[in-house]
Amino acid sequence: MGALAPPFIGDSWLASPVYINPNPNPNPNRNSLRALSFASPLFARCSPASASNSNSASWASGERWAWARERRRGGGAFDEIVDGEVFKYYAEGEWRKSNSGKSVSIINPTTRKVQYKVQACTQEEVNKVMEAAKAAQKAWARTPLWKRAELLHKAAAILKEHRAPIAECLVKEIAKPAKDAVSEVVRSGDLVSYTAEEGVRVLGEGKLLLSDSFPGNERNKYCLASKIPLGVVLAIPPFNYPVNLAVSKIAPALIAGNALVLKPPTQGAVAALHMIHCFHLAGFPKGLISCVTGKGSEIGDFLTMHPGVNCISFTGGDTGIAISKKAGMIPLQMELGGKDACIVLEDADLDLVAANIVKGGFSYSGQRCTAVKVVLVMESVADALVEKVNAKLAKLKVGPPEEDSDITPVVTESSANFIEGLVTDAKEKGATFCQEYKREGNLIWPLLLDHVRPDMRIAWEEPFGPVLPVIRISSVEEGIHHCNASNFGLQGCVFTRDINKAIMIADAMETGTVQINSAPARGPDHFPFQGLKDSGIGSQGITNSINMMTKVKSTVINLPAPSYTMG
């Protein structure tokens, strides 16, 4: 494999290759145990004002931020995280090389050539990380809430300040469009700050229970209930949001008084390492935060079954089911994908529906757990809707992420092959192709499949790519039945002008969230986010995550005699 033009780090140029293990999972797109890398000097066009908007980092033409300018503003701060051509792992407040002498390579999805390398950590190094985390957590739990929040706010500011080099990692490692990469980093900083503020509120309140509220008791017992840390939280984010879905686990864990061990996805590890360095620069205690990289086959099970882990927060695919069976008696927070259905009624605003289908189904090439993954449309309006969606798909820009294309390469060749398998099956079984199927390497052009039937794989399986099936239905009940027959239950959406029908359909859909007249979405980040059935365990969202990463402790005061306040 040939190397890419090497990234510019500090004062040196670096060549960094990459390899990705074949994924044994049925859907390789959803494998979370991968890892990531750094950036090249090609970065970006972003106006500072627009980048601060976490919802839309709209990029004004003519505004260009060169990587050289970012470096003058502090980009050299990342020099210490790399040794030669291999990025280090983070343990006990230091950036270290693994004693294994081995590395894991990361492939650029666009060029399909080696881009970066990360350390292949050993099980012994994982043991040392866990020991340090346990010791650091004890001291951190005694740190006042306001001081924990203060450090999180500092980390958030540093993260947003260095959005350019981190975003460049996302562009090169996971082919995320440049403007979306910046938006992810800025959104992540906002999430960390919000978590700091919410944590002070949620954890700063205890609860007082009086014994006489239960029948047969006098008021002679006062119960003081408070929330205390779990201990060491293991966080495993997915490749598609390796920064945002990492900090959504890191920040709640830290504000709650826990230590945090991060195992980043391989395809996405270097962006995560840069993010972790922002927490390092903020001044968190040594050992409290760690980031270990390596092959899932060597340290994946070892991490998730480690006796030092007191909680696991995982986002990914089938791997999560295996983790849940091996983890033992510890709290689990898992989001494992979805087959999010879009039910379209006859009275729906079809222009609104078409816009949301294209945005919800094809943004980031459909590589989102909350992407629209099947359209269930009433037969009477199906032709009109398909025509409108096709018109919008024709306007999407297909190409490399550096050019802010709407459709960029999917993350790995195995992912592209999986998607192609679904397309081939649909073709063999008679689906209508609204566009010609086109693929170059990992780049797949957007494709709408009409007249899909339940006997086709694409009707049930999660493609995690820019291919969307349309199933024509004759009744609302048929649409609800198809939605609920799925083994997934993450999100869904319904489009209608009748709010009464919308509420009844939403209640009938067996999903963790139902969007009314909008595409599925994760966020804003403080909203509850959860899946039913095979889509996950527990609930995310900032407040829910803080609560999940704590446990309740009760202290009971026993009085010698009943005591009542007389006013």
Collect all residues with Cβ–Cβ distance below 8 Å to 83 and sequence separation of at least 6.
97
CA distance 370 to 355: 16
- For residue 350, pLDDT over 60 is answered with yes
Residues 275 and 360 in one domain: no
Q: Which domain holds residue 153?
A: 75-336+543-548
Beta-carbon neighbour count of residue 222 at 10 Å? 15
* pLDDT, position 397: 98
- The pLDDT tens digits of the residues spanning 395-405 come to 999 999 999 99
Residues 314 and 441 in one domain: no
Collect all residues with Cβ–Cβ distance below 8 Å to 544 and sequence separation of at least 6.
528, 529, 530, 538
> Which one has a higher pLDDT value, 54 or 407?
407
Confidence of residue 76 (pLDDT cuts 50, 70, 90): confident
Residues 319 and 346 in one domain: no
Question: By three-state DSSP, how is residue 300 classified?
Answer: helix
Residues 433 and 513 in one domain: yes
* pLDDT, position 565: 85
Residue 309 lies in a domain: yes
Please report, for residues 220, 439, 528, the alpha-carbon distance to residue 214 in angstroms, rounded to integers and kept in the order given. Answer: 12, 67, 32
End-to-end CA gap in the chain: 80
Strands 443-444 and 513-516: unpaired
- For residue 69, pLDDT over 80 is answered with no
Q: What is the full DSSP assignment across 406-474?
A: SB---S-HHHHHHHHHHHHHHHHTT-EESS---EETTEE--EEEES--TTSGGGTS---SSEEEEEEES
- The pLDDT tens digits of the residues spanning 463-518 come to 999 999 999 999 999 999 999 999 999 999 999 999 999 999 999 999 999 999 99
Contact 315, 245 (CB under 8 A): yes
CA distance 376 to 393: 18
84 Ramachandran zone, left/alpha/beta (phi>0; psi -120 to 50): left
- The pLDDT tens digits of the residues spanning 547-557 come to 999 999 999 99
- For residue 46, pLDDT over 60 is answered with no
* pLDDT, position 280: 98
Task: Find the mean pLDDT for residues 113-123.
Answer: 97
Amino acid at 497: R
- The pLDDT tens digits of the residues spanning 412-432 come to 999 999 999 999 999 999 999
- Tell me whether residue 94 is one of the annotated catalytic residues: no
Residues 414 and 517 in one domain: yes
* pLDDT, position 62: 32
Gyration radius (Cα) of the chain, Å:
24
Residue 349 lies in a domain: yes
Please report, for residues 49, 130, 228, 433, 462, the alpha-carbon distance to residue 257 in angstroms, rounded to integers and kept in the order given. Answer: 34, 16, 7, 53, 37
Q: What would the two tokens of residue 147 be?
A: 């001081």
CA distance 299 to 229: 25
- For residue 7, pLDDT over 90 is answered with no
- The pLDDT tens digits of the residues spanning 249-296 come to 999 999 999 999 999 999 999 999 999 999 999 999 999 999 999 998
Residues 187 and 328 in one domain: yes
Q: Which of 70, 335, 461, 462 is catalytic?
A: 335
CA distance 249 to 265: 14
Residue 17 lies in a domain: no
* pLDDT, position 235: 98
* pLDDT, position 171: 98
* pLDDT, position 345: 98
Residues 296 and 150 in one domain: yes
Task: Find the mean pLDDT for residues 326-342.
Answer: 96
CA dihedral 501, 504, 505, 509 (to 10 degrees): 170
Residues 427 and 289 in one domain: no
Beta-carbon neighbour count of residue 138 at 10 Å? 12
Residue 437 lies in a domain: yes
Contact 261, 309 (CB under 8 A): yes
Residue 29 lies in a domain: no
Strands 536-537 and 513-516: unpaired
- The pLDDT tens digits of the residues spanning 199-244 come to 999 999 999 999 999 999 999 999 999 999 999 999 999 999 999 9
CATH number at residue 175: 3.40.605.10
- For residue 55, pLDDT over 60 is answered with no
Q: What would the two tokens of residue 78 be?
A: 């990342």
Residue whose entry in the numeric block shows the structure tokens 């018109």: 391
Residues 204 and 295 in one domain: yes
Residue 267 lies in a domain: yes
Residue 8 lies in a domain: no
Residue 9 lies in a domain: no
Across the chain, mean pLDDT equals: 89
Residues 224 and 178 in one domain: yes
Number of domains in the chain: 2
Residues 364 and 471 in one domain: yes
CATH number at residue 351: 3.40.309.10
Residues 318 and 398 in one domain: no
